Amino acid sequence: MKIEKIIVRDFRSHEFTKVTFTSGINLIIGQNGSGKSSLLDAILVGLYWPTRPKDLKKDNFLRVNGKSTEITIFFEKDGVKYQVHRNITRNIAFAKYYDNGTWHHLTEANHISVKNWVEKLIPYDIFVNAIYIRQGEIDAILESDESREKVVRKVLGLDKYENAYKNLLEVRKVIESKIKGIEEYLNAMKNIDDMIKEYKNNLNNVIKEIEEISPQIPKIRNEIDALRKKLEKLDKIAKDIENLKEKKSEIEKTLERIDTRIKSLTTSIAERESKVKDLEEKVKELEKIKDDAEKYIELEKFYKEYSEIKSKADKEIRGYEGQISQIKERLNELERKANELKELQEKISEIDKEIKELEEYVKQYEEYLRIKNTIESLRKRLSLDEDNLKELKSEIEKAKLRKEEILNEIREIEKRKGELENAIREKRKAILELRKAKGKCPVCGSELTEEHRQELIKKYNLEIENYEKELKHLHNREQNLRAEQVRIEKILKKEKIVIANEEILNQIKENEEKLSKYNLEELEKKFNKYNNLSTEKNKLEGRLKSIHDELRNKNILEERKTNLERKIYEIKNNLQKYDVKLKNLGFENIETLKDEIERLKSIYEKYIKLSDSVKELIKEKNLLENEINELNSLKKKKFDVENELNEVKEKLENLENSYSKEEHEKVRSEYIEKRESLREAETELKNLEKRKGELTKNLDKLKNEKKNVEIKKKELENLKKVKEKVQELREKVRKFKNILKEDALAKVGEYASEIFEELTEEKYSNVTVKAKDNKVVLGIVYDGKERDLSFLSCGERIALGLAFRLALSLYLAGEIPLLIMDEPTPYLDDERRRRLVDIMERYLKKIPQVIIVSHDEELKDAADKVVRIRLENGVSKVEEVEVC
């Protein structure tokens, strides 16, 4: 696979980014947070989203203020060009291939179809474990045996076998729980036949009770029907009597209301006739003063309007004249500020020259502070001072020498133990032959007597005893040496701390040497002067901008002054029109108008008081006519109501003669008693029917449960067999995982040996990889002897870490056509970075395409193409640089 191009829109910090990749080493370089790793995440999302990778969330994709996240990847595999496009925001996706100058669709236009197609072409596990080397993996390989184990487990996917092993244990527990549950169930159901017999007896008893109660209910219902009909007849008579009494009372109240209203109307009609005569006199007077009242309204209206306009005009003219005065003062002030502007520009120009001369000193001061902070940061990382470091280093050197002595002595002991064990076996064999021998001695060939036999056996037993004593002594000595070896190994493990602290101390010394070259007192002086000048410049520029802004207002002020003068002219012109109208009304001035208004005011007030008389007169005449009509109507209605009352009294008397209240209450009591008897009988029957249903249902359940008991017995036998098979499978998974790990590590060791041998110019002949408990122990072979990682130089350790990680990729993929590395050098010093550049030039260039993300400038020396990324106002900007 070869990635040719990626286009990204609104993804994290990328607004629009297009990057083309070439064969060889492509270096993506930039400061932390500039958006380098986001490009690698875009490749993962573009190929495998939405189901993978799971740690990349859709909510984190869209750039702040972005509109739509889009990713397009162009790549080539097996000679065919492909294109994968995703619009995450609009939920659009497609995959295409290129043939005969045209792109052709490969999948349906949705994310899942595209992801499934990519998985078939390049499986996700192969991509993220064989092609993509994440940040920190090489460091983890070199950090410790335990961290190396984690990398191996993750890359080779061994966790899924361990999960299977653990899951099978959970399956076994579930099966055991089911077995226990079935056994408890079968134990609870052992008396099921007795329970079925008991339920059948109870059901028969309930059926007998139902048969006794059922015939009684129809008889009671017939008696209730007869009583109900009689009660309904008596209820109707009682209700009719009550209704007639209520109707009689209502008619009597109606007659009383009619009499009251007739009296009230008679009085009201007399009063209203008198009021109508008074109103007719007022209407005649109103007509006489109407013209004067109307004239008053016209003159009053003009007076108010003239007064308001005059007052408002005077006020506005005073305001406008005040504004014109202020504008004139402001224009004079702006003339003075125009002269100040030239002086400010000259001062700023002088300050700029001084600042430019000081910029180099500021850069030096900032570099001084950066180096100083670096030294402080490095000192915090130190876990040992120089004296302790020397002591520990000396202790480690002594431990190495002592370890070699111990190993040599142990080898000698094991050799001697082997010789003694062989001697003991020989002597015991000789004793056995002596005991079996007859005639000649098997040792010296002379005549074998019993005395000679016993002497030889005694001699050999004594020699065996001496050998065993020596063996015991050697065994004790070996145990003591191995105990001492364990203590020494603990000391040797501290070598990593020594190496780390030495590297930090070297970096501190290098930075202190750089720091000593700077004249701090002079730099601080220059830096403070630079800051003071910058502050003064900012103030002057602020003042300059303020004056510029004010001068831009000059034209506006002059235009505003002209507008105000024009408004004053318009107001005065409008006042002249009102004076002309005043003379047309017949008045020389406003005072004569005011006197006429005062004269007409009393006439107008009288007119207002009388103005409602016309309406009131019409209203009173209408009311008088309505009351006369209502009085006539009430007299006729009274006669009709009196006739209706006599009819109701006659009907009520007839019904009361045919009704007995005592008989009514007696029938009601008998009806309620019979109905209660029926309810009790029906309730008892209903309960019995319910009991019958419950017993029948429970009896059916017990019969079904009896069938279920047989099923559970068979299920119990099957579960016990399954439990045994699950345990067998669990053991097979454990054995297979161990075999797979050993086989994988052996093959990885072969690949790593080939790569490491080439990276070190055949200085080392082999890389050893061993699995021990939860560790992966890595070693190398030098001069025919196996060595641990402390034997390697810093650069060789990096080469070994890279060789081991590439070997893992080769094991998974068989070959490496594409390699992606995210920040392979996050904590390397200058020497190690230079060594990595050598490794890249000598080995990584053999891989068809390599993409490396880093912030280290040194790596560009080994790159075939450099892509620079920087952050501007929160947006990633890309610049592609071809390397000659």
CA angle 527, 528, 530 (to 5 degrees): 65
Residue type, 339: N
Q: What is the secondary structure of 847-860 as a DSSP string?
A: SSEEEEEES-GGGG
d(CA 115, CA 98): 19
- Write the DSSP symbol of residue 62: B
Determine the length of the chain: 884
Using the CB atoms, write b or e for 418-445: b if 16+ within 10 Å.
Answer: eebeebbeebeebbeebeeeeeeeebee
Structural tokens at position 348: 């700023």
d(CA 666, CA 658): 17
Structural tokens at position 442: 């098997």
Residue 697: CB partners within 8 Å, gap ≥ 6? none
Contact 529, 523 (CB under 8 A): no
Query: In sequence order, what are the beta bridge partners of 821?
Result: 133, 852
CA nearest to 399, candidates 490, 460, 311: 490
Burial (CB count <10 Å: 0-12, 13-18, 19+), residue 811: buried
Structural tokens at position 874: 């929160």
Contact 677, 218 (CB under 8 A): no
Contact 806, 180 (CB under 8 A): no
Q: Which residues are annotated as a binding site for Zn(2+)?
A: 441, 444
Q: What is the secondary structure of 737-778 as a DSSP string?
A: HHHHHHHHHHHHHHHHHHHHHHHTTTS--EEEEEEETTEEEE
What's the per-residue H, E or C state across 629-655?
HHHHHHHHHHHHHHHHHHHHHHHHHHH
Other Cβ atoms less than 10 A from the Cβ of 510: the count is 16
d(CA 671, CA 674): 5
Residue type, 304: K
d(CA 798, CA 168): 40
d(CA 189, CA 200): 18
Contact 26, 852 (CB under 8 A): yes
d(CA 37, CA 53): 14
Residue type, 415: K
Residue type, 372: K
Q: Which residues are annotated as a binding site for ATP?
A: 12, 32-38, 135
d(CA 850, CA 837): 14
Other Cβ atoms less than 10 A from the Cβ of 34: the count is 20
Q: Which residues are annotated as a binding site?
A: 12, 32-38, 135, 441, 444
